[in-house]
Chains A and B, each alone.
Chain A
Amino acid sequence: MSASNGTSLNVKAFIKKYTMVIALVVVFIFFSFLTEGRLMLAQNVSNLLLQNSYVLVMACGMLLCILTGGNVDLSVGASLCLSAALAAKLLQIGAPALVAILASLLVGALIGIWQGYLIGYIHIPPFICTLAGMFLFRGLGRVILDSRTISVSNETFLNLFTSYIQIPGLDENKHCVSALIIGIVVAIAVAVIMLMSRVRQKKNGYETGSLAAAIAKLVVIDALIIAYTYKLMNYKGVPVMLLWILVVVLIFAFITSSTVFGRYFYAVGGNEKATKLSGIDPRRVYFWAYFLMSFLAGLSGLLMVARIGSVDGNMGQSYEMDAIASCFIGGASAYGGSGTVPGIMVGALLLGVINQGMSIYGLSDMWQYVVKGAVLLLAVVFDVVSNHKTGKS
Chain B
Amino acid sequence: MADYILEMKNITKLYPGVKALDDVNLQVERGEIHALVGENGAGKSTLMNVLSGTIPHGQYTGEIIYNGEECTFNNIHDSEKLGIVIIHQELALIPELTIAENMFLGNERKNSIGKIDWNKTHKEASEQMRRVGLKEKSTVLIKDIGTGKQQLVEIAKALSKNVKLLILDEPTSSLNEEDSKMLLDMLLGFKKEGLTSIIITHKLNEVAYCADKITVLRDGATIETMDNPTHDIDEERIIKGMVGRELTNRFPAREHHVSDEVMLEAKDWTVYHPVYTEKCVDKKVSFHVKKGEIVGFSGLQGAGRTELAMSLFGKSYGSHITGQEFIKGKEVHLKNEHDAIAHGLAYATEDRKVNGLVLEDSIAWNTTMARMEKISNRGIIDVQKENKYAAEFVDAMKTKTPSIQQAVGNLSGGNQQKVLLSKWMFAEPDILILDEPTRGIDVGAKYEIYCIMNEMVAAGKAVVMISSELPELLGMCDRIYVMNEGEIVAEFEAKEATQEKIMGAILSSDKKVQEEANA
A-side interface residues toward B, CB under 8 Å? 200-201, 204, 206, 258-261, 263, 266-267, 270-271, 273-281, 337-338
Contact: B381 with A258, CB < 8 Å?
A: yes
Kindly identify which residue among A201, A259, A270, A279 contacts B370, using a CB–CB cutoff of 8 Å: A279
Q: How far is the CA of A260 from the CA of B371 in the complex (A)?
A: 10
Contact: A280 with B380, CB < 8 Å?
A: no
- The distance from the CB of A194 to the nearest CB of chain B, in whole angstroms, is 15
A-side interface mostly: helix
Given contacts A337-B361, A338-B360, contact A261 B379 (CB under 8 A): yes
Please name all residues of chain B whose beta carbon is closer than 8 Å to the beta carbon of A267 when the two chains form the complex.
358, 361, 365, 369
Please name all residues of chain B whose beta carbon is closer than 8 Å to the beta carbon of A200 when the two chains form the complex.
384
Q: How far is the CA of A266 from the CA of B380 in the complex (A)?
A: 15
Q: Please give 13 more A-B residue pairs, beta carbons under 8 A apart, in addition to A271-B355, A277-B316.
A: A204-B384, A258-B383, A260-B372, A263-B381, A270-B358, A271-B357, A271-B358, A273-B354, A274-B355, A275-B369, A279-B341, A279-B342, A337-B361
Kindly identify which residue among B354, B360, B365, B388 contacts A263, using a CB–CB cutoff of 8 Å: B365
Contact: A275 with B381, CB < 8 Å?
A: no
Q: How far is the CA of A263 from the CA of B364 in the complex (A)?
A: 12
Kindly identify which residue among A261, A270, A278, A338 contacts B423, using a CB–CB cutoff of 8 Å: A278
Q: How far is the CA of A201 from the CA of B382 in the complex (A)?
A: 12
Please name all residues of chain B whose beta carbon is closer than 8 Å to the beta carbon of A270 when the two chains form the complex.
358-361
A-B contact pairs, 5 of them (CB 8 A): A260-B379, A260-B380, A274-B349, A276-B337, A279-B336
Please name all residues of chain A whose beta carbon is closer than 8 Å to the beta carbon of B373 when the two chains form the complex.
260
Q: Which residues between 39 and 98 of chain B lie within 8 Å of chain A, taking CB atoms? A: none
Kindly identify which residue among A201, A259, A266, A277 contacts B356, using a CB–CB cutoff of 8 Å: A277
Contact: B381 with A260, CB < 8 Å?
A: yes
Q: Does B297 contact A (CB under 8 A)?
A: no
- The distance from the CB of A225 to the nearest CB of chain B, in whole angstroms, is 25
Please name all residues of chain B whose beta carbon is closer than 8 Å to the beta carbon of A266 when the two chains form the complex.
358, 361, 365
Kindly identify which residue among B340, B354, B387 contacts A279, using a CB–CB cutoff of 8 Å: B340
- The distance from the CB of B232 to the nearest CB of chain A, in whole angstroms, is 45
Please name all residues of chain A whose beta carbon is closer than 8 Å to the beta carbon of B376 when the two chains form the complex.
259-260
Please name all residues of chain A whose beta carbon is closer than 8 Å to the beta carbon of B240 when the two chains form the complex.
none
Q: How far is the CA of A258 from the CA of B338 in the complex (A)?
A: 21
Q: Does B389 contact A (CB under 8 A)?
A: no
Q: Does B450 contact A (CB under 8 A)?
A: no
Please name all residues of chain A whose beta carbon is closer than 8 Å to the beta carbon of B316 when the two chains form the complex.
276-277
Q: Does B393 contact A (CB under 8 A)?
A: no
- The distance from the CB of B402 to the nearest CB of chain A, in whole angstroms, is 13
Looking across the interface, which residue of chain A has its beta carbon closest to that of B317?
A: A277
Please name all residues of chain B whose beta carbon is closer than 8 Å to the beta carbon of A259 when the two chains form the complex.
376, 379-381
- The distance from the CB of A22 to the nearest CB of chain B, in whole angstroms, is 23
Contact: A337 with B337, CB < 8 Å?
A: no
Please name all residues of chain A whose beta carbon is closer than 8 Å to the beta carbon of B423 when the two chains form the complex.
278
B-side interface residues toward A, CB under 8 Å? 313-314, 316, 336-342, 347, 349, 354-361, 365, 369-373, 376, 379-381, 383-384, 387-388, 423
Q: How far is the CA of A267 from the CA of B362 in the complex (A)?
A: 11
Contact: A201 with B358, CB < 8 Å?
A: no
Looking across the interface, which residue of chain B has its beta carbon closest to that of A280?
A: B338
Please name all residues of chain B whose beta carbon is closer than 8 Å to the beta carbon of A274 when the two chains form the complex.
349, 354-358, 369
Contact: A278 with B359, CB < 8 Å?
A: no
Given contacts A270-B359, A270-B360, A273-B354, contact A279 B381 (CB under 8 A): no
Please name all residues of chain B whose beta carbon is closer than 8 Å to the beta carbon of A277 when the two chains form the complex.
313, 316, 337, 347, 349, 355-356
Residue from A206, A266, A270, A279 with most neighbouring chain B CB atoms (10 Å): A279
Looking across the interface, which residue of chain A has its beta carbon closest to that of B347?
A: A277
Residue from B314, B342, B372, B387 with most neighbouring chain A CB atoms (10 Å): B372
Contact: A206 with B380, CB < 8 Å?
A: no
- The distance from the CB of B2 to the nearest CB of chain A, in whole angstroms, is 41
Q: How far is the CA of A281 from the CA of B381 in the complex (A)?
A: 19
Contact: B359 with A271, CB < 8 Å?
A: yes
Q: How far is the CA of A279 from the CA of B426 in the complex (A)?
A: 13
Please name all residues of chain A whose beta carbon is closer than 8 Å to the beta carbon of B379 when the two chains form the complex.
259-261
Please name all residues of chain A whose beta carbon is closer than 8 Å to the beta carbon of B354 when the two chains form the complex.
271, 273-274
Contact: A275 with B358, CB < 8 Å?
A: yes
Q: How far is the CA of A277 from the CA of B339 in the complex (A)?
A: 11
Q: How far is the CA of A52 from the CA of B365 in the complex (A)?
A: 34
User: Closest 8 interchain pairs by CB?
Assistant: A270-B358, A279-B338, A278-B370, A279-B341, A271-B358, A279-B337, A260-B372, A278-B369
Residue from B360, B388, B423 with most neighbouring chain A CB atoms (10 Å): B360
Q: How far is the CA of A36 from the CA of B340 in the complex (A)?
A: 65
Please name all residues of chain A whose beta carbon is closer than 8 Å to the beta carbon of B313 when the two chains form the complex.
277
- The distance from the CB of A339 to the nearest CB of chain B, in whole angstroms, is 12
Looking across the interface, which residue of chain A has its beta carbon closest to that of B342?
A: A279
Q: How far is the CA of A258 from the CA of B382 in the complex (A)?
A: 8
- The distance from the CB of A367 to the nearest CB of chain B, in whole angstroms, is 37
Please name all residues of chain A whose beta carbon is closer than 8 Å to the beta carbon of B370 when the two chains form the complex.
278-279
Please name all residues of chain B whose beta carbon is closer than 8 Å to the beta carbon of A337 when the two chains form the complex.
358, 360-361
Q: How far is the CA of A279 from the CA of B345 in the complex (A)?
A: 11
Contact: B337 with A278, CB < 8 Å?
A: yes
Looking across the interface, which residue of chain A has its beta carbon closest to that of B424?
A: A278
Q: How far is the CA of A279 from the CA of B383 in the complex (A)?
A: 20
Please name all residues of chain A whose beta carbon is closer than 8 Å to the beta carbon of B336 when the two chains form the complex.
279, 281
Given contacts A267-B369, A276-B337, contact A258 B361 (CB under 8 A): no
Please name all residues of chain B whose beta carbon is closer than 8 Å to the beta carbon of A278 when the two chains form the complex.
337, 341, 369-370, 423
Please name all residues of chain A whose beta carbon is closer than 8 Å to the beta carbon of B380 when the two chains form the complex.
258-260
- The distance from the CB of B377 to the nearest CB of chain A, in whole angstroms, is 10
- The distance from the CB of A156 to the nearest CB of chain B, in whole angstroms, is 35
- The distance from the CB of A306 to the nearest CB of chain B, in whole angstroms, is 33
Q: How far is the CA of A279 from the CA of B429 in the complex (A)?
A: 13
Q: How far is the CA of A258 from the CA of B336 in the complex (A)?
A: 26
Please name all residues of chain A whose beta carbon is closer than 8 Å to the beta carbon of B338 when the two chains form the complex.
279-281
Kindly identify which residue among A201, A263, A273, A281 contacts B372, using a CB–CB cutoff of 8 Å: A263
Q: How far is the CA of A279 from the CA of B372 in the complex (A)?
A: 10
- The distance from the CB of A202 to the nearest CB of chain B, in whole angstroms, is 11
Residue from B341, B355, B383 with most neighbouring chain A CB atoms (10 Å): B355
Q: How far is the CA of A263 from the CA of B490 in the complex (A)?
A: 44
Q: How far is the CA of A122 from the CA of B200 in the complex (A)?
A: 42
Q: How far is the CA of A280 from the CA of B336 in the complex (A)?
A: 9
Please name all residues of chain A whose beta carbon is closer than 8 Å to the beta carbon of B361 when the two chains form the complex.
266-267, 270, 337
Looking across the interface, which residue of chain A has its beta carbon closest to that of B387?
A: A206
